[in-house]
Amino acid sequence: MKVYNTLSGQKEEFLPQGDEVKVYVCGVTPYADCHIGHAMSYIIFDVIRRYLQFRGYKVKYVQNITDIDDKIIDRANQLGISTGELAGKFTTRYFEDMDALNISRADIYPKATEEIPKIIEVVQDLVDKGYAYPVGGSVYFRVRNVSDYGKLSHRSLESTMSMENALGSDDKESPMDFVLWKAAKPGEPLWASPWGPGRPGWHIECSVMSLKYLGNTLDIHGGGQDLVFPHHENEIAQSESFTGIKPFVKYWLHNGLVQLGEEKMSKSLGNLITIKEALGRYSPDAIRIFVLSSHYRSPLTYSEEALESAEKGLDRLRQVVHSEGKGEKGEGEIDTEAYHQRFIDGMDDDFNTPQAIAALFDLARDINRLSDEGYSVTQGQQVLLELADVLGLTLKPLVKPSLDAEPFINLQKSTIAKIRRAKLEKVIEEVERLLHEQGTDAQEATPYINLLREVRNALRKEKHFQLADEIRAKMGELGIILGDTPSDTIVKRKR
């Protein structure tokens, strides 16, 4: 298995330190909703983790939450709420997005504000060793003392130093030096430290959290290409100076960035598409396929057309997985081993997901053909589902919630109970989402609840009590009580 290492600038054989691969990925600063750029990065590292597990590795995956930061402070001040309240709210919304996109949870999500003692300990040690110095209540890292500074971003120390004259100087010894501890300004959250009240700098947080939870050397450190310099360069300088051990990270993996048209998608340009907006229009699987259809190191251009075509492609996979061929000719012969191998060959080559996806579509075409010819295709379907799962694709049937009861009621005559159930689940999911986002009184949920009531009445009339009871149980979990009278169902909401 080969991975492209930003540090060496080439593909290298992947040889982790032990059976358990230690992975650290830079996490969010929760001050606003996550956008498609976040979705891209977290989907990619989720797939890398899933693939390592598929290949038999254990993975320990740590992702930080930067819950104190200039942006959080500014936004909280604008809204007149505490930084804790703001960060808490957007951390919850971040997890909603990740769960919706079927991104596995990290093993540990350390928060900067909960790691202050360890951060102070590491900063003090860097001061003691001469790698850092306090000035006016802040502490800066002395970049000149690290001879191989710039090795990740491939900048020479001289070229970095030539910036010095251009930039001028404040209280730092050199403009290249970066902050480890920021002296508190009036009205900002602060923690006591040997250098006075303040808060940690962003770069040191990642060094400390990765060190604490994964040890002195990580196997994989991931993030977007925009983090290479200065964030990751600085992480290396801090971590290697503190531990005295090189390398801090064996394999540095960086994903390309999302563009909207010709421009980078970014908050400052005001051209963001949030994950929640995208999920309102496309299925989670379609967003994943869209991201994985390009190589992870390439830039990804967001467009409605690309997502619509991802959704169409997915429909084909979904149909193939859920079709029940007549199978009168017995089990069809598909060389599933060959598809398995193609998938692995692609993914082993620096996670070439476009190639892996192409193997899935070819397998689907084979299954379809055999099914049309009258063969049973369960074996092929199983392999398709298994490989899709490595990419985090659920291939669940896509049913847009409709406010028309007719198609649901008509489905009762169909023999395919599972399709009916899937459609109802989609409606229930919608109710759940609305209640979660807007509270138990959400008026927008009413038409969906009424629809469920109507369908349930029809089911009971037909004596389909099992499915009718399932609807009631699920609604009960959401705090919606469906009470039955002989002729109708009454809806009550718990408060």
**Residues forming the site for Zn ion (CB under 5 A):** 26, 206
| CB-count burial class (<10 Å; 0-12, 13-18, 19+) for 126 | buried
- CA pair distance 149, 366, nearest whole angstrom: 53
Decide whether 27 or 380 has the Cβ nearer to Zn ion.
27
Largest distance between two CA atoms of the chain: 85
**Which one, 27 or 313, has the nearer CB to Zn ion?**
27
Q: Which is nearer to Zn ion, 236 or 377 (CB)?
A: 236
For Zn ion, the closer CB: 110 or 332? 110
Select 143 or 206, whichever has its Cβ closest to Zn ion.
206
Six-digit token string for 97: 């997005």
What is the distance between the alpha carbons of residues 145 and 131, in angstroms, rounded to a whole number?
6
The CB-of-160 to Zn ion minimum distance in angstroms stands at: 20
What minimum distance in Å lies between the beta carbon of 26 and Zn ion? 3
Q: Other C-beta atoms within 10 Å of 148: how many?
A: 11
Q: Given the complex with Zn ion, which of 206 and 459 has the nearer CB atom? A: 206
What are 306's two structure tokens? 């690309």
User: How far apart (Å, rounded) are the C-alpha atoms in residues 457 and 473?
Assistant: 15
Residue with token string 């290492």: 5
Q: Which is nearer to Zn ion, 5 or 66 (CB)?
A: 66
CB of 14 to Zn ion, least distance (A): 22
Distance CA 155, CA 151 (A): 7
Shortest Å, Cβ 447 to Zn ion = 44
Distances (CA, A) of 284 to 43, 115, 397: 11, 33, 12
Distance CA 189, CA 39 (A): 30
The least CB distance from residue 227 to Zn ion, in Å, is: 6
SS3 169: coil
- The distance of closest approach from Cβ of residue 106 to Zn ion in the complex, given in angstroms and rounded to an integer, is 13
Q: Between residues 100 and 228, which has the closer beta carbon with respect to Zn ion?
A: 228
Buried-exposed string 192-216: b where 16+ CB fall within 10 A, e elsewhere: ebebeebbbbbbbbbbbbbbbbbee
Q: Which of 355, 254, 356, 265 is nearest to 297 (CA)?
A: 254
Q: Name the minimum Å distance from CB 220 to Zn ion.
A: 13
- Cα separation, 301 vs 45, in Å, equals 19
User: Minimum Å distance from CB 223 to Zn ion?
Assistant: 6
